[in-house]
Structure 1
Amino acid sequence: MKLTVHKDTSGIHISVSGHMYVEDASQLREKALEALGNDGKNVVVDLSGLEYIDSSGMGVLISIHKRCVQRGGGVTIRGLHGTVQELFELTRLTKVFTIS
């Protein structure tokens, strides 16, 4: 998995590519929570390069979303495609996240 995280005035931008397994999910959680800090509330996650995500990766995205909502923000998911998009639709997470 390749992961990039950067923060600017509009929020946190995360890009994930490759395959996200349980060991990668903890890295995503750590980097995202570090970027969110005490005041972050908006996150954009680009999954256009992601080919596979397991349940632990989905769980991390949900926990990031929950933290953002508690702060009055949210998570936007971009670039859903293929099996990753099918998984989001099957689990109805397309109704939880803002999808663009």
Structure 2
Amino acid sequence: MSFEISVNQQEVLVIVEGKIFVEDAAQLREKLLELIDQGHRRFIIDMHKAIYIDSSGLGVLVAIHKRAIENGGGVVIRGLQGVVKDLFLMTRLNKVFEMD
């Protein structure tokens, strides 16, 4: 997995590519928590290049979402498709996140 993060005044855009497993999720969590600690509150997670995400990856997204909401922000998930979209639907995370 790889991810690219771009930050501006209003939001953080995270483009995720490939397969997200435990070790990747830990790296992503660390970086996004660091951005939350810096005061960023609104995150857009672009998943159009993601082909798989395991439970640890889903857990990271939920944790970031919770922290962002606590700080008056939120997380938008964009570009779900294929297996990744199916996992969001199966786990009902499409009801938790704002989807774009």
TM range (shorter): over 0.9
Q: Offset at 1:36?
A: 2.2
Report sequence identity in percent: 46
The RMSD of aligned alpha carbons is 0.8
Q: Offset at 1:34?
A: 1.7
- Summarize deviations over 1:15-47 as a string: whole Å, max 9, x none: 110000011000100111122224211000000
- Pairs within 5 Å for 1:7-46: 7-46=7-46
Unpaired runs of 5+ residues, structure 1, are none
Secondary structure in 1 matching 2:72: coil
Cα pair 1:44 1:78 within 8 Å, conserved:
yes
Residue number in structure 2 paired with 1:53: 53
Structure-2 separation of matches of 1:45 and 1:77: 5
Structure-2 separation of matches of 1:24 and 1:12: 18
Using structure 2 for the length normalisation, give the TM-score: 0.96
Q: Offset at 1:71?
A: 0.8
Aligned length: 100
Using structure 1 for the length normalisation, give the TM-score: 0.96
Q: Offset at 1:7?
A: 1.0
The one-letter code of the counterpart of 1:56 is S
Unpaired runs of 5+ residues, structure 2, are none
